[in-house]
Amino acid sequence: MNEISNKWIGTNTIRPDGADKVTGRAAYAADTSMPGMIWGRVLRSPHPHARIKSIDTSKAEALQGVKAVVTSKDIVEFPVDKPVALGIQDMRWMSRNVMAREKALFHGHPVAAVAAMSEAIAAEACKLIEVDYEVLPWAIEIEDALKPDAPILHDFVQFEGKPSNIAGTLEHKLGDIEAGFAKADVVIERSFTTRPVHQGYIETHACLVSVLSDGKTTIWSSSQGQFMVRAMTSLLTGIPQSSIRAIPAEIGGGFGGKTIVYLEPLATMLSKKSGRPVKMVMSREEVMRATGPTSGSTSTVKIGATKDGTIVAAQGVFYLQAGCFPGSPIRGAAGCAFAPYNIANVVSRGFDVVSNRSKVAAYRAPGAPIGAYAVECVLDEVAEALKIDPLDLRIKNAAREGTKAAHGPVYPRIGLLETMESARKHPHYKAPLGKFQGRGVASGYWFNAGGESSAQVNITEDGNVVVTTGHPDIGGSRAAIANIAAELLGIDYRRVSVLIGDTATVGYSNLTGGSRVLFASAIVVTDSAEQVIGQLKARAAKIWGISADAVVWENGEARPSGDHTGNFPTMTLAEIAAKATETGGPIGAGVQLNTTGAEGGFSTHICDVEVDVDLGIVRVLRYTSFQDVGRAIHPAYVEGQIQGGAVQGIGWALNEEYIYNKKGHVDNPGFLDYRMPVCSDMPMLDAVMIEIPNPKHPQGVRGVGEVPLVPVMAAVANAVHSALGKRYYSLPMSPPKVLEGLDEGTLQAAE
């Protein structure tokens, strides 16, 4: 653990990119242009499922102002029978997702792209492309995709020896499930459904790509990983990674949805063919039809407990929509669902189901909120059946140091119990409730992640500091890195500039995702800063003519110690930097690592709601999140993550859903009908940060970004149940659904 003064760690400093962002000067992906730039546009499938028999682009190419047209022929093909893994993605599917090849698999699937002198000409050209489709039957919902006579999306996907839309399974097992249930006094089994929801970032996908005649390619785009953009674009275009420079624009929200490419490979091929820089910007409708969302699901959870409240067995089956290619987050759903509890006998299964929807993308703790929703609602019913307070039931069964989780790990010191006990003691938990008001609680877990990270810490000639890291900053990570660097070097944080490097200027760094960024970058920044401090001490030692071991670094100064104490005046960072040339040259250090030790994150939430029984509207009155944050390096941005996650979950619980019409098209592809929470929907949000430092991290950091979403839907659902005495088993609990479930008996009982 870092035991130094903590002058900056734990303080709410001004973020390095702040002034740019409040003045409108920050450059997001769509804000950049280049000389000679032209505009790209995508032609999308009008059918949810169709074989592409032929594409004739000749009329589009002949249109005045059109400079290039691309189809799947221009994108590298990966045969379907040979996996090509890149992280958690498979390039077989990525290739077919960015541009339909044999078949169009959802309404909105790209089939061609055009670059022209203006967006209007590109749009006109798209209309001139003739695609001969053989329209096929389609399946949108899980139950339709699993019917015996369901249309099969991919002939090569087999389940139990037959072509199927079940593209993958996963099972976690612990103990003896049958024996466990045999011991139970109470067994509750319930089924739940959730709808797909979009990540809802306000910045639509955009990129600007320049390919020169020598093949040198520059990509400006908004993503959660410039190295992911480089790798995927390279694989999909055949341009070597060394020829591609991917520059991370400021990112206007991602939440997981920008961990894959959509436009970059198309713009690259359009630029290559046209010889011009090409800019592409998705409309909101394109974002809603063809990117993200996260999975819809159907789950069944069965939990058995003895009279004293000990959970003796738990079983979960989670079917998740993958969209049109394999790869739904069943690992998050089946793996995280029971992870907050010490249960001896567990079976947790996930099924990955393909159907004619856009391919799902990661969304904040992918899969985990789906699993937690079902498990935490059933736990509420177990508590009710046993007449035990729902938090007491959770406290009794909480995982702690030494607990073996069904998904594998044995936990080190964790702060879950503290989140539950803080909630139990908090005034919120005792506050009075009125008519049609209710309170719900829920807990949640997310794995967190480490992975590859790189940093460079350089001392400028005037004695200030530039830190370059490789993970796009999506919610304030630069501010936290500035705090850490300032702390270690003992200088004012305003003397530290933190930048996100591009693929040519910083070492490989994995995606911004998995709640990894501050965990991983703090490690490489700490290691780099320690090397820099070593150099600074050595330089001072050289100037003083003493051994480097006899120099200490304190409060931003080198000081002689031991026998030499007081023999020389201390030297500041600026004084040492001024003499860098004659003492050995530039001062700086870089570290590149595959970081490990990211322990899981836990939280417990309390939600109060009021149900308007005339309109069916559920209003959240009060919300408090209790989270083990490890160490809050920049508390305000940690709180911000916790608050933002809560509101995303409230949207998921109450309003957000993809609605499909009878033609297999998304019927609500915009912010008017896809109703995300607005300011007037929300109360103030309390975030209680509990700091149980991660013993495996120099500053004690645990990831904090994802777990804030995990318990929310269950907490809201449990609160609605508490308000009405009636439980809804499907999300969203939108006004029409709530009203439909309210009969006279329920209302009278609730009053």
Binding positions for other proteins, rule: CB under 8 A: 12, 14-15, 17-19, 21-28, 30-31, 199-204, 250-255, 281, 283-284, 474-476, 634, 636-637, 639-641, 643-648, 670-672, 676-682, 684-685
- Please say whether the beta carbons of 126 and 43 come within 8 A: yes
* Closer residue to other proteins (CB): 254 or 327: 254
Amino acid, res. 183:
K
Q: Two tokens at 323?
A: 């969209």
List, in sequence order, every residue forming a beta bridge with 467; answer none if it has no partner.
457, 498
Q: Concatenate the DSSP letters of all residues of 336-399 into one string.
A: HTTTTB--SSEEEEEEEEE-SSPPP---SSTTHHHHHHHHHHHHHHHHHHHT--HHHHHHHHB-
Nearest distance in Å: CB 751, other proteins: 27
d(CA 52, CA 226): 32
Nearest distance in Å: CB 670, other proteins: 6
* Closer residue to other proteins (CB): 84 or 117: 117
* Closer residue to other proteins (CB): 698 or 732: 732
Buried b (16+ CB within 10 A) or exposed e, 611-628: bebeebbbebbbbbbbbb
Nearest distance in Å: CB 111, other proteins: 23
* Closer residue to other proteins (CB): 24 or 79: 24
Parallel/antiparallel/unpaired status of strands 278-281 and 130-135:
unpaired
Parallel/antiparallel/unpaired status of strands 217-221 and 166-174:
unpaired
Nearest distance in Å: CB 93, other proteins: 26
Nearest distance in Å: CB 252, other proteins: 3
- Please say whether the beta carbons of 516 and 593 come within 8 A: no
* Closer residue to other proteins (CB): 23 or 54: 23
* Closer residue to other proteins (CB): 278 or 647: 647
Question: Which residues does 531 contact at the CB level (< 8 Å), separation at least 6?
Answer: 457, 589, 591
- Between CA 637 and CA 707, with CA 251 as vertex, the angle to 5 degrees is 45
Nearest distance in Å: CB 255, other proteins: 7
d(CA 601, CA 578): 44
Question: Which residues does 271 contact at the CB level (< 8 Å), separation at least 6?
Answer: 68, 115, 209, 210, 211, 217, 277, 278
- Please say whether the beta carbons of 233 and 264 come within 8 A: yes
Nearest distance in Å: CB 230, other proteins: 22
Q: Two tokens at 327?
A: 């790869």
Nearest distance in Å: CB 640, other proteins: 6
Q: Two tokens at 422?
A: 């803080």
Q: Nearest CA to 186 among 308, 5, 351, 32?
A: 308
Nearest distance in Å: CB 65, other proteins: 13
* Closer residue to other proteins (CB): 284 or 564: 284
Counting beta carbons within 10 angstroms of the beta carbon of residue 136, is it exposed (0 to 12), middle (13 to 18) or buried (19 or more)? middle
Counting beta carbons within 10 angstroms of the beta carbon of residue 676, is it exposed (0 to 12), middle (13 to 18) or buried (19 or more)? middle
In sequence order, which ranges of 545-675 are alpha helices (DSSP H)? 573-578, 580-583, 635-654
Nearest distance in Å: CB 165, other proteins: 31
d(CA 623, CA 496): 36
* Closer residue to other proteins (CB): 204 or 274: 204
SS3 string of 247-264?
EECECCCCCCCCCCCCCH
Nearest distance in Å: CB 304, other proteins: 36
* Closer residue to other proteins (CB): 84 or 636: 636
* Closer residue to other proteins (CB): 85 or 679: 679
* Closer residue to other proteins (CB): 380 or 610: 610
* Closer residue to other proteins (CB): 12 or 570: 12
Nearest distance in Å: CB 636, other proteins: 4
* Closer residue to other proteins (CB): 100 or 647: 647
Nearest distance in Å: CB 626, other proteins: 16
Q: What are phi and psi of 245, to 5 degrees?
A: -115, 110
Peptide bond into 586 cis (omega under 30): no
Nearest distance in Å: CB 140, other proteins: 24
Q: Nearest CA to 648 among 617, 667, 623, 666?
A: 623
d(CA 522, CA 224): 18
- Please say whether the beta carbons of 1 and 465 come within 8 A: no
- Please say whether the beta carbons of 602 and 415 come within 8 A: yes
Q: Two tokens at 742?
A: 């309210």
* Closer residue to other proteins (CB): 309 or 475: 475
Q: Nearest CA to 720 among 623, 611, 644?
A: 611
* Closer residue to other proteins (CB): 284 or 426: 284
Treating both helix axes as pointing N-terminal to C-terminal, what angle do 477-489 and 635-654 enclose, rounded to 10 degrees?
160
* Closer residue to other proteins (CB): 302 or 605: 605
* Closer residue to other proteins (CB): 685 or 724: 685
- Start-to-end CA span in the chain (Å): 54
Sign of the alpha-carbon torsion through 725, 398, 648, 634: positive
Nearest distance in Å: CB 23, other proteins: 6
Nearest distance in Å: CB 526, other proteins: 23
- Between CA 216 and CA 225, with CA 222 as vertex, the angle to 5 degrees is 80
Nearest distance in Å: CB 51, other proteins: 33
